[in-house]
Chain A
């Protein structure tokens, strides 16, 4: 049974795919019956604005008919407990909406590797930027697989958030429920 679970877990791991320009991309299209495009756009824009504001990482958001956000994802040298920052991957998140469906994708991945400085902090190596497509040749397959896993995990988590942004009605103005301990 454990073997089956392990196999199932392995099979569920997503991988990045190549787009028509031979660039890596994380792409998802989502059906959301009963929601119109404007509603989904507004809810996702509000949710993402709050998420990126709270994240503390630099980002640029542009919104029109679609949403585009440029930001960074800090990647670690491995996914075990003993780990440290290995670099940051710049990416662009795109979202487009139609009635009853939307799609989002992450693309334009560029790694800026970190190095440890004299204060035991990991900081960017000045002047070094590596497109994700060149990671295998500049480093190795294992490094690429590690970064790919962290990007797809982020993309998956982002997708779950987007669904919840769309489903959840904005709670602005709702009274906070309080318990009156004098009544029971």
Chain B
């Protein structure tokens, strides 16, 4: 027993000395785990649901968004990201269940992001898989948005794109992405082929200002042009802008719109923000509300109150449509306007 102990100590000492002789090399980043949990209460002042926001859908109810879990690992030049969403926000409210096959309607893969990436050089990166879309200002994960309810532009546009893309960084201020994506947005698999072309030009003209010019175009998916930009003008004031135009390849279906996002930090823990949006459906319509040729103007006043990893999000929203064919008042009579209150809590980890 004594000799075994001495042998163990001797081996331990040898290993320690061997390590001590070599300077430590830079370590690969660890496996990182991040995500969020969100819950909310919504009350539409008509007493029933009106405003067609993607999430925060349940009237007069304490409801859940999702638990979002993301894993990331990078070794050398190769990396993967896997992000899963469990809950209404990460499943039937945002992505199609399963692979889009009707026989798999009750199956869901929960996947928000699932891709691999490789740095060919310091400037060139290749990525393939199912990724959050490069189009638009708002995202599915509640930690990526300032407002809790979502814009019409977000609901109408793509949520995810599966495909292959290459991104080249000319400098810290300019980069270009180009790729080929599945023919339909949001699907894990293609309906016909990998035929949607996508590109993104990023420019950062001055400190704190980044702008993304985006295009996605394909025979099946149609063509969307998008500008997404944000400018941190002072330490306290940030201004964001999103503008988009979508045209389907099947007739003059589509929409166009713009949203402005001014935000003011009034203290280290409290930020106030307004989202003002104009959204119009083209004359031949689109699959989502409002009706063909109708426009909607929306104002959302939101506060983000932070307490460590927890953010409370009280929000008041007023929408006004050009026609009275969608909203109804407390007596269920047609009206042009609707308003709602939301109180959400988002815990990020």
Q: Which residues in A have some Cβ–Cβ distance to B below 8 Å?
A: 47, 51, 54-57, 74, 76, 81-85, 116-122, 125-128, 137-140, 157, 160-161, 164-165, 168
Chain A: which residue is nearest B233 at the CB level? A127
Q: Mark B210-228, 1 if CB is under 8 A from A, else 0.
A: 1000000000000000000
B296, chain A: closest CB distance, angstroms: 25
**In the complex the two chains form, is A82's CB within 8 Å of B349's CB?**
yes
**In the complex the two chains form, is A116's CB within 8 Å of B132's CB?**
no
A120 is contacted by which of B21, B112, B204, B349 (Cβ under 8 Å)? B112
Residue tally, chain B, CB below 8 Å to A: 39
B64, chain A: closest CB distance, angstroms: 20
Q: Could you tell me the distance between the alpha carbons of A55 and B29 in the complex, rounded to whole angstroms? A: 10
B207 is contacted by which of A119, A127, A137 (Cβ under 8 Å)? A127
Q: Could you tell me the distance between the alpha carbons of A18 and B21 in the complex, rounded to whole angstroms? A: 33
Task: List residues of chain A with CB within 8 A of the CB of B83.
Answer: 120
Q: A116-B143, A120-B81 are in contact. Are A126 and B208 (CB under 8 A)?
A: yes
Segment at the interface with A among B7-15, B30-38, B242-250: B30-38
Task: List residues of chain A with CB within 8 A of the CB of B25.
Answer: 51, 54
Task: List residues of chain A with CB within 8 A of the CB of B209.
Answer: 126-127
**In the complex the two chains form, is A83's CB within 8 Å of B70's CB?**
no
Q: Could you tell me the distance between the alpha carbons of A85 and B24 in the complex, rounded to whole angstroms? A: 21
Task: List residues of chain B with CB within 8 A of the CB of A47.
Answer: 23
Indicate whether B139 reaches chain A with its CB closer than 8 angstroms.
yes
B291, chain A: closest CB distance, angstroms: 30
Q: A118-B139, A119-B81 are in contact. Are A127 and B268 (CB under 8 A)?
A: no
Chain B: which residue is nearest A47 at the CB level? B23
For chains A and B in complex, what number of residue pairs have CB atoms within 8 angstroms? Answer: 87
Q: Could you tell me the distance between the alpha carbons of A140 and B235 in the complex, rounded to whole angstroms? A: 17
Q: Could you tell me the distance between the alpha carbons of A117 and B143 in the complex, rounded to whole angstroms? A: 9
Indicate whether B102 reaches chain A with its CB closer than 8 angstroms.
no
**In the complex the two chains form, is B208's CB within 8 Å of A127's CB?**
yes
Q: A126-B204, A161-B24 are in contact. Are A139 and B32 (CB under 8 A)?
A: no
B63, chain A: closest CB distance, angstroms: 23
Task: List residues of chain B with CB within 8 A of the CB of A120.
Answer: 34, 70, 72, 81, 83, 112-113, 132, 141
Q: Could you tell me the distance between the alpha carbons of A139 and B268 in the complex, rounded to whole angstroms? A: 7
**In the complex the two chains form, is A116's CB within 8 Å of B349's CB?**
no
Task: List residues of chain B with CB within 8 A of the CB of A81.
Answer: 33
Task: List residues of chain A with CB within 8 A of the CB of B24.
Answer: 157, 160-161
Q: Could you tell me the distance between the alpha carbons of A82 and B31 in the complex, rounded to whole angstroms? A: 8
B133 is contacted by which of A84, A118, A121 (Cβ under 8 Å)? A118
Chain A: which residue is nearest B28 at the CB level? A56
A33, chain B: closest CB distance, angstroms: 19
**In the complex the two chains form, is A127's CB within 8 Å of B33's CB?**
no
Task: List residues of chain B with CB within 8 A of the CB of A55.
Answer: 26
B78, chain A: closest CB distance, angstroms: 13
Indicate whether B94 reaches chain A with its CB closer than 8 angstroms.
no
B128, chain A: closest CB distance, angstroms: 13
A22, chain B: closest CB distance, angstroms: 21
Task: List residues of chain B with CB within 8 A of the CB of A140.
Answer: 308
A118 is contacted by which of B32, B34, B144 (Cβ under 8 Å)? B144
The 3 closest A-B pairs by CB, nearest first: A127-B208, A118-B132, A127-B232
**In the complex the two chains form, is A84's CB within 8 Å of B21's CB?**
no
Q: Could you tell me the distance between the alpha carbons of A54 and B141 in the complex, rounded to whole angstroms? A: 34
Task: List residues of chain A with CB within 8 A of the CB of B72.
Answer: 84, 120-121
B33 is contacted by which of A83, A128, A161 (Cβ under 8 Å)? A83
Chain B 106-135 interface residues, beta-carbon cutoff 8 Å to A: 112-113, 115, 131-134
Q: A126-B204, A126-B232 are in contact. Are A56 and B26 (CB under 8 A)?
A: yes
Scoring B34, B83, B112, B133 by chain A CB atoms within 10 A of each residue's CB, the highest score goes to B34
Indicate whether B230 reaches chain A with its CB closer than 8 angstroms.
yes
B134, chain A: closest CB distance, angstroms: 8
**In the complex the two chains form, is A121's CB within 8 Å of B81's CB?**
yes
Task: List residues of chain B with CB within 8 A of the CB of A161.
Answer: 23-24
Task: List residues of chain A with CB within 8 A of the CB of B21.
Answer: 164, 168
Task: List residues of chain B with CB within 8 A of the CB of A83.
Answer: 30, 32-33
